[in-house]
Structure 1
Amino acid sequence: MNIGEAAAGSGVSAKMIRHYEAIGLIEATRRPNGYRSYGPQDVAVLRFIRHARDLAFPLEDIRRLLALWRDRSRASADVKQMALDHVAALESKAASLQAVADSLRHLAQHCNGDDRPDCPIIAELEGIRE
């Protein structure tokens, strides 16, 4: 199948398929005319990548997960540890984002939001504490 058919079958855009090929996550065979050709296993790999991306795994982790998926003698403990490490990273990032949201909420609560130029949000961005 061509790249458009692989995209439709996997839910991954043709642009992203090209990107995944460029970084070595997937290998397309080339027809004599130079066009990419994909088989059912390639579409399965693309679906795997898409689902991993939906779970916010970074590309390097996806590379490792693909290797584990392909290794039928893998230990599920390795996969579980990767998932738990990823959960910890996501929770840390969520906590950081929550702290930023709390800071912005606090600044917005202390801004009069009127016609005067004084604004604690701008002051904070300038590095000046009001």
Structure 2
Amino acid sequence: MANWNDADLERIAAAEELDLASERSNGTLRDPVTMWVVRSGDRLYVRSVKGSDGPWYRGVQSRHQGRIEAGGVRVDVTFHQSGPGEYASVDAAYRKKYGNYTSIVEHVLTDQARTSTLRLEPR
């Protein structure tokens, strides 16, 4: 597991949104998708509101690699599937960071969204 440097971790976690571009099977990047990003401990996470049916989430599955950009940081990453043991802390991070978007934040707290939780690690 690769670790984030403190400066990049702070800047990405503080950003309101993150742009994620996954790699196609031929190594080229897909168009970036804008989404929410949260920090739990020293890890960064994203989720698909549509769960595993979300188009960007399906795109991530071809290579489990891509590029993110947030808070002025652009970095190549690996996407790792998170397990149920991580869901509660990620839920709490979403509630804390995006709780003022009451009607929207609930969409990333469903069982469907939880199963699409991905941990981002720098490459």
TM surpasses 0.5? no
More helix by share: 1
More strand by share: 2
Larger Rg: 1
Greater RCO (CA < 8 Å, at least 6 residues apart): 2
